[in-house]
Amino acid sequence: MSVHPLTPLSNPEIEAAVSVVKTQAGLDESAWFETITLDEPSKAELVAFSGGSPTPRRAYVCCYEPSSNRTLRGRVDLDGGTLLNWDHVPGAQARIVGDEFAMGDVLVKADPRFAEACALRGITDLDTVLVETWGAGHFGIPEEDGERLAFCHCWVINDAGDNRYGRPIANLHPIVDLRRRVVVRIEDYGVVDLPPDTAAIRPTENLRTDIKPLEIIQRDGPSFEVDGYAVKWQNWNIRVGYNYREGLVLHEIGYEDGGRVRPIMHRASMAEMVVPYGDPSPGNFRRNAFDTGEYGIGGALDSLKLGCDCLGHIHYFDVCSHDWHGVPQVIENAICMHEEDFGLLWKHTDVQTGKMRAVRSRRLVISAIATIGNYVYGFYWYFYQDGTIGVEIKATGIPFPSAIALNETSEYGTIIAPGIESHVHQHAFSFRFDMSVDGPNNSVAEVEFEAMPVGPSNPHGNGIRTVDRTLEREQDAAREMNMASARYWKVFNPNQTNAYGASTAYKLAPGANALPLLDPSAPVAKRGGFMFKHFWATAFAENELYPSGWFPNQDAGTDGLPVWIEQNRSIKNTDVVAWYTLNFHHLPRPEDWPVQPVVYANFHWMPEGFFDQNPSLDVPPNDQVNG
Ligand code: NI
């Protein structure tokens, strides 16, 4: 049987793609591999596959060639062993890959100017220093244009050896040319003493002794079925996917209802994120991280540990990543799937008879965790028995620390430990949902509530109406939340109705959110324009996958959502993509040091008239389930 066309690339497929590019793309020996990942089949190809036609396996490959300072990309036909296309992308800088991080650390430590700057700070053993190469961004500085630059932050690894970010070196920022492999200059804005404390994060003494075992036992196994990457659970049908950039991707999400699977989303992912920091000082204004587009979430996924990251009966999916030579690397247990008890699903007690039914909620959790330098992001997708889909970010790890003199106060952040400040920053995530509510053609509406004025038809002033407005074009659909009108958005199928004549729909129910605190002229605001609207809807286009474009590294903001919607395409009864921006501000607290308790940020998609009644009425009470 042929492999499903949405199955992530295997190690042999990565090797085959590398071999084709090395022999057919005409690159020289300096070239390295930014991305080797599945080139996903088109919707037409998927339809053909479901009709029994074989679908070609293809790889998307992107390379960087330092000798010519070119980023090139194309697609490989894995069955035929040929290059289908191969193009130079003018002006684009490939992502900064893990091997470049390592290279930057070595280059900087070998530079005598850096050793001198460290000596001024009393640091003589450079083996204890961590140098991190961050993308330099785009600030309109002419001599930086077209160069492949990284801006470095430096730390001394703490005495306990368990916190590489425990002792920040303030004001010391090497600039590295990653193409020529040289240190361009060392920016030094003055010596600040190293923080005095060790900031250990894995203490072994004085641990709590009053915590008893809590084990999740599923004596008959889990309630899900897995066939390769296809998952069935409680009427849900989901296909798990992966790529090097976004990490966890979900495909073909549908709900079985009346004997058939009703599609809801064709593809869902966290497509981009950026973390702009609020310290405008010369050493820190560049600090913002597009973790997806500048570095890649998929290559940074953790190998998860049963009993630590995940509790219960877990099904793990391994994924295949690669290094910059194109050598495949399996990340074992990269994607975790399990069931969780989630409290009450619904309950009713008849007061007269005392008869009661309470049904417990079970949810399917599909998740992955990425460690990106100091920070850790968990990406959690929840499927509930009532048709709700939940999306949650869990942010943990070490808040980015900077050293500050012991007698100073923090202007743009908080003192979180002796001699350590951590600056206010924002986390902005852009989720992409290629929608397919009951079929390929959908429309989008904004729903608002309004309190009616007192008048003859509303004499007591309690009247509330909802206004349901179809958003016709892309520019109508770039929207912000509004607490006064409890605004939300829904994607509906204008060609399908429920029992009451309404279009079947899924509603995007926002949770807590924020707006960016950036001047619109700020370079990072231009590169991350998606941040400024909570909701976007676009007409599907195969190339429009990433809301800051394919190549945000050092880009001026030339691609992405704000650019695409200039076309102002119709989003009515067509193939629609919905985008949700989840923003939160983070003013670090002392309680976030030396490692931050998880911060949760989430939102939901809920059926709204998709079903004719509560679809979880058939969930049995727990005493029947547990026997
Ligand atoms: Ni944060």
- The per-residue pLDDT for range 157-196, each reduced to its tens digit, is 988 888 999 999 999 999 999 999 999 999 999 999 999 9
Distance (Å) from CA 426 to ligand 1 centroid: 7
How many Å apart are CA 273 and CA 546, to the nearest integer?
10
Distance (Å) from CA 275 to ligand 1 centroid: 8
Distance (Å) from CA 415 to ligand 1 centroid: 15
- As given in the structure block, the two tokens for residue 297 are 């979430």
Question: Residue 537: which of 516, 568, 514, 499 has the closest Cα?
Answer: 568
At 448 the pLDDT is: 98
At 557 the pLDDT is: 93
Question: Residue 7: which of 47, 44, 51, 56 has the closest Cα?
Answer: 56
**Residue 424 amino acid letter:** V
Question: Could you read off the pLDDT of 444-472 as tens digits, one per residue?
Answer: 999 999 999 999 999 999 999 999 999 99
Question: Residue 339: which of 252, 221, 230, 229 has the closest Cα?
Answer: 221
How many Å apart are CA 469 and CA 481, to the nearest integer?
15
Residue 517 makes CB contacts below 8 A (sequence gap 6+) with: 278, 426, 585
Question: Residue 548: which of 142, 245, 335, 157 has the closest Cα?
Answer: 245
Set out the domains of the chain in order of their start, with CATH numbers. Answer: 11-88 (3.10.450.40), 98-188 (3.10.450.40), 225-301+370-398+425-443+494-586+595-626 (2.70.98.20)
At 307 the pLDDT is: 86
Distance (Å) from CA 392 to ligand 1 centroid: 15
Distance (Å) from CA 398 to ligand 1 centroid: 9
- As given in the structure block, the two tokens for residue 118 are 């460290």
Backbone angles phi and psi of 339, in degrees to 5 = -100, 150
Q: For residue 242, indicate whether it is catalytic.
A: no
Quickly list DSSP for 513-561: -----S-TTSHHHHHTGGGG-SEEEEE--TT---TT-S--TT--S-SSH
Q: For residue 244, indicate whether it is catalytic.
A: no
Determine whether 82 is exposed, middle or buried from the number of CB atoms within 10 Å of its CB (0-12, 13-18, 19+).
Answer: exposed
- As given in the structure block, the two tokens for residue 219 are 């004596």
- As given in the structure block, the two tokens for residue 279 are 């310290």
Q: What is the DSSP letter of 614?
A: -
At 121 the pLDDT is: 96
- As given in the structure block, the two tokens for residue 115 are 């050793």
Kindly give the parts of the chain with pLDDT less than 70: 1
Q: Is 274 helix (H, G, I), strand (E, B) or coil?
A: strand
**Residue 27 amino acid letter:** L
At 623 the pLDDT is: 84
CA-to-CA separations, 288 to 76, 177, 258, 276, 432, in angstroms, rounded? 33, 19, 49, 4, 21
How many Å apart are CA 354 and CA 12, to the nearest integer?
63
How many Å apart are CA 333 and CA 258, to the nearest integer?
35
Distance (Å) from CA 414 to ligand 1 centroid: 12
Quickly list DSSP for 79-123: TTTEEEEEEE-TT--PPPPHHHHHHHHHHHHT-HHHHHHHHHTT-
At 383 the pLDDT is: 98
How many Å apart are CA 535 and CA 271, to the nearest integer?
14
How much is the CA Rg of the chain, to the nearest whole Å?
26
Distance (Å) from CA 532 to ligand 1 centroid: 19
Distance (Å) from CA 598 to ligand 1 centroid: 10
How many Å apart are CA 348 and CA 214, to the nearest integer?
30
At 158 the pLDDT is: 83
Distance (Å) from CA 379 to ligand 1 centroid: 15
How many Å apart are CA 564 and CA 561, to the nearest integer?
5
> What is the helix, strand, coil percentage profile of the chain, to 5?
15, 40, 45
Q: Which residue has the tokens 């309109």?
A: 140
Distance (Å) from CA 454 to ligand 1 centroid: 46
**Residue 624 amino acid letter:** Q
Question: Residue 400: which of 274, 584, 275 has the closest Cα?
Answer: 275
**Residue 303 amino acid letter:** S
Number of H helices, E strands in the chain: 7, 31
How many Å apart are CA 88 and CA 74, to the nearest integer?
9
Q: Which residue has the tokens 């587009």?
A: 293
How many Å apart are CA 193 and CA 451, to the nearest integer?
59
Residue 115's H or E segment, with its range, is helix 112-120
The residue from 177, 188, 291, 386 that is catalytic is: 291
Distance (Å) from CA 281 to ligand 1 centroid: 19
The residue from 242, 375, 380, 384 that is catalytic is: 375
Q: What is the DSSP letter of 294?
A: I
Distance (Å) from CA 255 to ligand 1 centroid: 35
Query: What is the reported pTM?
Result: 0.97
Q: Residues within 5 Å of ion ligand 1 by Cβ? A: 586
> Are the CB atoms for 324 and 33 separated by under 8 Å?
yes
Distance (Å) from CA 9 to ligand 1 centroid: 33
> Are the CB atoms for 107 and 176 separated by under 8 Å?
yes
Q: Identify the sign of the CA torsion 267, 333, 5, 51.
A: negative
- Report the first-to-last Cα separation within the chain, whole angstroms: 39
Distance (Å) from CA 413 to ligand 1 centroid: 12
